[in-house]
Amino acid sequence: MSYQLLFICLGNICRSPSAENIMNHLIAQRQLSEQITCDSAGTASYHVGSPPDRRMAFAASQRGITLKGQARQFRPSDFESFDLILAMDKENYANIVALDPEGRYRHKVRLMCEFCRHHPDQEVPDPYYGGEEGFNDVIDLLLDACEGLLDNLVQTQVAR
């Protein structure tokens, strides 16, 4: 049984699919694909069915990472399906925990930046309305957070 990660942002076309694909890239490098699986979703339904944003995909490709997938909206059943749900910002976090009024799954929901090692950011900023630099910054921030997350999972969840 693999450990299941779900990355969450607003529309599921920039930050969360980037985190999902960066994490899959790092997981494959460490040959942990059998132990850890990833998905992503958005709190809003704006872009359901759309591929990752082309500007985000370009920024990722500059670091050898291909963004795949299509946007979907978070479903309450995701609380059951996933072991860890990683919100990109505090608003996404609040929107997810609001779908769990009894707090039964609150222990599964964390902020992505909790796993950063080098970046002081508390949240992954949404680059959607900004310029090219914002997309590059988000990729760098997510690389840092994903590496920290993967090391944490190897230490705490994944039996080698």
Cβ pair 42, 8 in contact under 8 A: yes
* Residues contacting residue 146 through CB under 8 Å, at least 6 positions apart: 19, 22, 23, 26, 115
Name the catalytic one among 9, 14, 38, 116: 9
Known catalytic residue at 113: no
Known catalytic residue at 72: no
Name the catalytic one among 53, 89, 126, 144: 126
Q: What are the structure tokens assigned to 36, written together? A: 């850890």
What is the distance between the alpha carbons of residues 90 and 111, in angstroms, rounded to a whole number? 7
Query: For the chain, how far is it from start to end, CA to CA, in angstroms?
Result: 14
Q: Which residues pair with 36 in a beta bridge?
A: 3
Known catalytic residue at 9: yes
Name the catalytic one among 14, 15, 78, 89: 15
The residues annotated with a catalytic role in the active site are 9, 15, 126
